[in-house]
Amino acid sequence: MIATGLDILLENIGQYRHRNIGMIVNQTSVTADLCYSWDVLRKKGLNIRRIFSPEHGLFATEQDQIAVGCQPVPDIEIASLYGSSAETLIPDGRMLDDLDLIIFDIQDVGSRYYTYVNTLALFMEAASGRDLEIMVLDRPNPLGGSIVEGPMLDQAYRSFVGIFPVPVRHGMTPAELALLYRDWKNLDVRLTVLGMKGWRRSMLFPETGLPWVPPSPNMPTVETAAVYPGMCLFEGLNASEGRGTTTPFRLFGAPFINPYHLLEQCKGPGFKGIYLRPTWFKPTFHKFQGESIGGLWMHVCDQSLFRPFAAAVALTAALHELYPADLQFLGGVYEFNDTIPAFDLLAGTDSVRHALLDGNDTPSIISSWQQDESAFLSTKEQYHLYR
C-alpha cells in the first residue's frame, strides 16, 4: 500500500501542534484504517479551528449544484465553500484571519471538471499575499499520471468546472496541480506539499491498495471515475448521464434513443477499449425522473486503450447523426454561469460543439485536440513529483 500525504503528516505531527489550522476536506480525507483526518489530528493535539467544506458538503450529502448549508459535525466550525452564488466559492477573508495553516486533503478523480481541486485553486488565490501557509496532502490520481486527453481550457470558458489550464484528463495529482497553478497565476502563496510514498505514474487506483471512499454522490466506484472524463459532457445534453441510478456516468439514455439503432452507429475512433450494451433504465431523480428510457451501458474492457473524452464526443456525434431533431445542447444556468452552454464550459471551448453541429467526421474532431495533448505532456513534466 502506498503512503498518502496524510500518512506523512501523521509521521511528523509534532511540529504542527502550535499552529492555528483550517482544513479543506471531505469524507475522503481518511487514514488507511478509514478514520477521518480531522478526528485523528485533533486527538493528537492539533488545533483544528475550522473546516472548509467543498461542493456536496463534508459528507457528500448534497447532489450536484445544490448549495451546502448547515452540516452536523460536533465541536468544530464548518464553513461551506459552495453556496447559492459564485461569491461563496471563495472564503470570506475574515475566516482566514485567525489561521496560519490551511491543510487540503481530498481525493480527486483526474478530470478538469471535478470541482474539489478547483476549490483549492480559488482558495490559493484568496490566500495570495497573506501570511498563510497552504499545505497539500497529496493523494493518487485514480486514472494514473501518464495519459492526458482532450482540449486545453480556453480562458474565455473559465468557470468552476474549468479553472486549471490543463486538458480535460490531466494526469496530475492535486499537489502537482497546485504547483502548476501557483506558477501559472504567479501567486504569492506559501505552498507546502507532502507527497506520497510508493506511488508511480503508471498506477491505477486499485494498484495503490487504498480504500475507495466515494468522493461525491455520483462517484460511487473507481470504475465511475474511469468514464467520468467523457461522460460528464452529457450534463450539457438533453440526455441522462445516469444520475438517479446506481451506476451514474456508466450509462446514459434519453426517451428518443433506440439502443440497438444507436449501437450500430458506435464504431470506429473513440470506441477502443469498451463494450457498449443496449439497455433501458428509469432514473429516480434528475433528468427524465420516473421515465423508462433507452440508452447504452459502458463496460471498460481495456483502460490502456480507452479514451473517455473521445468516446463521449463520438457518442454525441452518433446521437446527432441519428436524432438531429431531438438532441439538444442545454442552455440555462450551469455552475453559476448563465451565458455559456454547459457543454462548452465542460469541454473548455465551443469548437467541439460547433464541429459536432457542423457534421464534421468523428476522426477529425478527435484529432483536433491532439496538439493540445502533446504540448501539455511536455509542460506538465516540470511539475511531476513522481516517476
Query: Which 3-state string (H, E, C) describes 117-173?
Result: HHHHHHHHHHHCCCCCEEEEECCCCCCCCCCCECCCCCHHHCECCECCCCCCECCCC
pLDDT at 54 over 90: yes
Q: Which segments of the chain belong to CATH 3.90.1150.140?
A: 222-373
pLDDT at 45 over 90: yes
Mean pLDDT of 248-264: 98
Mean pLDDT of 254-277: 97
Q: What would the pLDDT profile of 175-224 be if each residue is shown by its tens digit?
A: 999 999 999 999 999 999 999 999 999 999 999 999 999 999 999 999 99
Residue 241 · residue 234 · CB < 8 Å? yes
Q: What would the pLDDT profile of 136-175 be if each residue is shown by its tens digit?
A: 999 999 999 999 999 999 999 999 999 999 999 999 999 9
Q: What pLDDT is recorded for position 107?
A: 98
**Cβ neighbours for 362, distance < 8 A, ≥ 6 positions apart:** 268, 269, 270, 313, 314, 317
CATH of 222-373, one of 3.40.50.10800, 3.40.50.300, 3.10.129.10, 3.90.1150.140: 3.90.1150.140
**Cβ neighbours for 234, distance < 8 A, ≥ 6 positions apart:** 240, 241, 249, 252, 312, 316
Residue 189 · residue 182 · CB < 8 Å? yes
pLDDT at 66 over 90: no
Tell me phi and psi for residue 277, to 5 degrees. -115, 125
Q: What pLDDT is recorded for position 75?
A: 84
- 15 burial type by CB count under 10 A (0-12 exposed, 13-18 middle, 19+ buried): exposed
Mean pLDDT of 103-125: 98
Mean pLDDT of 335-346: 97
Residue 28 · residue 53 · CB < 8 Å? no
Fold held by 5-211? Rossmann fold (3.40.50)
**Cβ neighbours for 116, distance < 8 A, ≥ 6 positions apart:** 26, 54, 55, 106, 107, 108, 174, 215
Q: What pLDDT is recorded for position 366?
A: 97
Q: What pLDDT is recorded for position 70?
A: 75
pLDDT at 12 over 80: yes
Helix (H, G, I), strand (E, B) or coil at 311: helix
DSSP annotation of 297 reads E
DSSP annotation of 292 reads -
Tell me phi and psi for residue 36, to 5 degrees. -70, 140
Whether the CA torsion 52, 168, 270, 307 is positive or negative: it is negative
Q: What would the pLDDT profile of 89-100 be if each residue is shown by its tens digit?
A: 999 999 999 999
**Cβ neighbours for 97, distance < 8 A, ≥ 6 positions apart:** none
Tell me phi and psi for residue 3, to 5 degrees. -105, 125
- Of 58-62, 124-128, 132-136, least confident by mean pLDDT is 58-62
Which cell numbers in the block locate residue 225? 471515475
Mean pLDDT of 316-322: 98
Q: Which segments of the chain belong to CATH 3.40.50.12170?
A: 5-211
Mean pLDDT of 261-267: 97
Q: How far apart are the first and last CA of the chain?
A: 17
Q: What pLDDT is recorded for position 194?
A: 98
Q: What would the pLDDT profile of 350-384 be if each residue is shown by its tens digit?
A: 999 999 999 999 999 999 999 999 999 999 999 99
d(CA 87, CA 294): 39
Mean pLDDT of 13-34: 96
Mean pLDDT of 330-340: 96
pLDDT at 74 over 80: no
